[in-house]
C-alpha cells in the first residue's frame, strides 16, 4: 500500500496553485461536481516516497516528472543526468518544476496536459 490515499469516490489532484492549467483543471473538475482532495505542491511539500509513488502510478521515471522547460528549471539548471534520489531532491527543493497537475482516482492516475483531460479519470 502506498503513502498516497486514494478512493474511487474522489479525485486527488496534485497541482501548483500558480499554474494556469492547474487552475483551469481544478475549476473544470469542480464544475463537474466531483469531490476533490486538493494538494497544492507549493504549500504541501511532497515526500520522496510520494514523488516515487506518483512516478510509479504514471508509469514514468522520476526524472520525467521534472518539467525541464519550466523557467525555474532553465534558470537554475541545465541538461543533466542525475540519480533518482537527486531528481527527488530537486523536486522537493523546487516543487514548481514538477510536471502537474496529476489526478488520481482509485487505481487511475493521469498527468493532465489540458484541463479537459480530467474527464479521462
Record the pTM: 0.93
pLDDT tens per residue across all 121 residues of the chain: 478 888 899 999 999 999 999 999 999 999 888 899 999 999 999 999 999 999 999 999 999 999 999 999 999 888 888 999 999 999 999 999 999 999 999 999 999 999 999 988 8
Question: Is residue 50 a contact partner of residue 4, using CB atoms and an 8 Å limit?
Answer: yes
User: What pairing do the DSSP bridges indicate for beta strands 11-15 and 102-105?
Assistant: antiparallel
CA distance 97 to 91: 7
> What's the whole-number average pLDDT of the chain?
94
The Cα–Cα gap between 18 and 58 comes to 23
The predicted structure's pLDDT at residue 120: 87
User: Cell numbers 541545465 label which residue?
Assistant: 78
Amino acid at each position: 500500500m502506498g503513502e498516497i490515499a486514494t478512493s474511487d469516490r474522489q479525485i486527488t489532484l496534485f497541482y501548483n496553485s500558480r499554474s494556469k492549467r492547474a487552475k483551469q483543471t481544478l475549476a473544470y473538475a469542480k464544475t463537474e461536481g466531483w469531490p476533490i482532495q486538493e494538494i497544492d505542491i507549493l504549500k504541501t511539500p511532497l515526500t520522496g516516497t510520494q514523488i516515487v509513488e506518483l512516478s510509479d502510478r504514471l508509469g514514468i521515471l522520476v526524472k520525467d516528472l521534472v518539467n525541464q522547460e519550466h523557467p525555474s528549471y532553465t534558470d537554475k539548471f541545465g541538461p543533466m543526468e542525475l540519480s533518482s534520489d537527486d531528481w527527488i531532491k530537486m523536486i522537493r527543493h523546487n516543487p514548481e518544476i514538477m510536471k502537474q497537475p496529476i489526478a488520481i482516482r482509485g487505481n487511475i492516475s493521469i498527468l493532465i496536459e489540458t484541463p479537459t483531460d480530467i474527464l479521462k479519470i
